[in-house]
Structure 1
Amino acid sequence: MAVMEAQRKQTQNRLPSRRALRGPEKAAILFLCLGEQRGSAMMQRLTDEEIQIMTRAMAGLGVIESESVEKVLSDFVEGIANGGGVVGSFTVAEDMLRAFLPTDQVDGILKDIRGPLMEKDLWARFSSLSENVIANYLKNEHEQTIAAILSNVKNEVAAKVLPLLGQEKMQDVIERMIRMEAVPHHMMKQIEETLQTDIISAPAQPTTAEQHQKMADLFNKLDVSAFQELSEVLEQRIPETFTAIKSKMFTFDDLANLEPMDLARVMRGAPGNALPIALRGAKKEVRDVFLAALPGRSRDMLEEEMNTMGPVRGRDVRDAQAGLVDYAKELAEEEVIALPLAEDEEFI
């Protein structure tokens, strides 16, 4: 026994030192181990100030290894040794609060906590980097790793980064993004650690429909020539999936399918000279639909502006068209206008 004890002490001396848990963090581990129902019952006995402290600790707890949990909960050593550690997150804390508090009170408690946590978001910081910096960083990574990373950044960023990877790698990465299922936790943890972040748990994984919509939004913002080249390849490799994605895309040409009043509403909200620039690069039949939706005087003024503005760069046309599409989607989300139904949608 003496030998075993000496070995145990030697092992402990070799272990890296861990940050000491504070009182609120220890209490948060206790609530997590009790589960949502019992933890919620205990929270009802706390004051508002204590709930604030507890929620803040739980939201920032992250992954706690079983050894640390055993130190806090010595009475539960046996059960914790079998079940491993626990995970504390903003979502867990919010769900537990909503189990016994009114919505307004929960929103008030979480309001001050949500901001600081969101500022630490790895993917927001990574998305703010230059597309050239991100592309250079990703070029030497495996295609599956690139797909996992670009699936977690903003579509505007991914659409700029992908063409910089080269045609062959871009095609491979996009196909992996389309096929991607839930990324294993250990893989996301390794990626996040490599990106030098304090994010511990992987982001929630989207459903197939959500992933298709994300890819459709990405394709909407992708350079037209790059998308046309991709389409030929993807239609051969994954025809059914690619068709499903294309059905969710909404392009500038689709605006011509809006009701005239809705189309006029979109045009009225176009900033600066975005509308004449967008229409200068539009197909004639699409441009005619836009003009027909305007009153005579407004139509004449728009045509005159288009005729006198001179040559327009293709990039400016694409940006202006993308801006009108985004604005139309915003109006649709606010239920100001109705977007045209997809081909597979119908009224019931």
Structure 2
Amino acid sequence: MSTTVRTDIKKISGSEKAAILFLCLGQERGSELMKQLGETQVMPVSRAIAGLGQVTTDVVEDVITEFVEGMTAGGGVHGNFNEAEEWLKSFLPEDQADRMMGEIRGPVKGKNMWARFSSLNENVIANYLRLENPQTVAAILSQVKADISAKVLPLLPEDMMQDVIERMIRMEAVPQDMLEGIETALETEFLDSAANVSGVDSHERMANIFNKFPPETFEGISGKLDGSMPDELARIKQKMFTFDDLARMDTQNLGRVIRSGTDGARVPTALKGAKSDVRDYFLQCLPERSRNLLKEEMDSLGPVRMRDVQTAQAALVDVAKELAEDGAIQLPMNDDEDEIIE
């Protein structure tokens, strides 16, 4: 084994950089990854590990940073900041991973730019975007949270909204040079900015946005998208999960959602504006006493605004998704046409 102390990343070969990454991952994770390589790849990495010698902490950090920057720059793998951060935290202490991600993302003030931009009133954002190129609008709305995009898109002119949505569907990631130009403009118009490329799947992103659309808005735009890009719309619908989809769950899982979603008048408000078959199925999931109490709560509400109904229904959908992420329940697949409603 070499006794050389490696202090300069410029003098380290590609195989040696790979060796450093494998050693950082540890034997268990590294061996799992090594199994994915072919023999022609395993041999040079193994030789590099055997002859690597001592590597300083600074060089290790330089190698990791170089690799992560390659992931987030849209190279041969589909990487993004979230993927990079999770990868770093798989083998580094959290504070060290956070520090390195901070260096990769840029100045601290830039980290909060999109959140601060999103905090603006949706009418202000929409008025600004109306004057922009649809591709620029698509790039901007791809960087903000789905609920912000869902509020802003319906405020755009109808033709522009459809154009922007189609571009967002096709957009896998915002090109770095385009994003830099957008951020320069936003810095001038609004706040300081820094690169924050989103690697979220465009169909999943649009499904999240459409989930938060009022039903009539989604019906209008989906009718047009069905004519202009039916295959893409079908893929988006497969990823969507709406309030009505809760009625496709079995009674045990739905009952757990109802119990977890009990927060004030959320459940009775959501059911107040639900379809009759969906409402009946919800009630079937409850014991008789709970069912009667829920009916009384619904009756005592009186007239409710559709906006409040939609908010309550969206909150229950979020509860279901959180339970599914925790492994407490299983959501029905959207390509399953067999409904449970009787």
TM-score of the superposed pair, with normalisation by structure 1: 0.70
Q: Report 1:167-316 matches (<5 A).
A: 167-196=158-187, 197-200=192-195, 203-206=197-200, 210-270=201-261, 271-316=263-308
Counterpart-to-counterpart distance in 1, 2:10 and 2:302: 65
Question: Structure 2: how far apart are the matches of 1:161 and 1:312?
Answer: 24
**Deviation, structure 1 residue 129:** 2.4
Distance, in Å, in 2 between the alignment partners of 1:337 and 1:92 is 26
1:243-265 deviation line (CA, Å, top 9, x unaligned):
12112211101101111011111
Instruction: Work out the CA distance in 2 between the residues paired with 1:164 and 1:125.
Output: 20
2:110 aligns with one of 120, 125, 136:
120
Establish whether residue 109 from structure 1 lines up as the match of residue 96 from structure 2. Answer: yes
Contact between 1:258 and 1:339, CA under 8 Å: does it hold in 2? yes
Please say if 1:156 is aligned against 2:156: no
CA offsets 1:49-68 (integer angstroms, 9 cap, x no match): x579x56x959x989xxxxx
Q: Relative to 1, partners in 2 of residues 1:228 and 1:43: Cα closer, same or farther, differing over 3 Å? A: farther
Shift in Å, 1:330 = 0.6
| SS of 2:332 mapped into structure 1 | coil
8 A contact 2:243–2:317 mirrored in 1: yes
Q: 2:56 aligns with which of 39, 46, 59?
A: 46
Q: Which amino acid aligns with 1:280?
A: K
In structure 2, relative to structure 1, the CA distance for the partners of 1:92 and 1:332 (3 Å cut) is: closer
CA distance in structure 1 between the partners assigned to 2:146 and 2:85 by the alignment: 28
Of 325, 330, 333, the match for 1:338: 330
- Which has more radius of gyration? 1
Contact 1:143 1:169 in 2 (8 A): yes
Measured after TM superposition, the shift of residue 34 of structure 1 is 4.6
Superposed CA RMSD in Å reads 3.6
User: What does residue 31 of structure 1 align with?
Assistant: 9
Quote the Cα distance in structure 2 between the aligned partners of 1:32 and 1:164.
Answer: 52
User: Which of the numbers 118, 126, 134 marks the counterpart of 2:125?
Assistant: 134
Contact 2:81 2:197 in 1 (8 A): no
Q: Higher RCO, 1 or 2 (CA under 8 Å, sep at least 6)? A: 2
SS at match of 1:120: helix
Can you give the 5+ residue segments of structure 2 that lack an aligned partner in the other structure? 1-6, 21-48, 71-79
CA contact (8 A) 1:94 1:106 kept: no
Cα distance, 1:32–1:266 mapped onto 2, change above 3 Å: farther
> Unaligned 5+ residue runs, structure 1?
1-27, 64-88
Taking a change above 3 Å as real, the CA distance of residues 262 and 91 of structure 1, as seen in their structure-2 partners, is closer
CA distance in 1, matches of 2:245, 2:83: 41
Counterpart AA for 1:217: N
- Work out the number of aligned pairs and report it: 282
Residues 185 and 283 of structure 1, relative CA distance in 2, 3 Å threshold? same
Paired with 2:248 and 2:208, the residues of 1 have a C-alpha distance of: 19
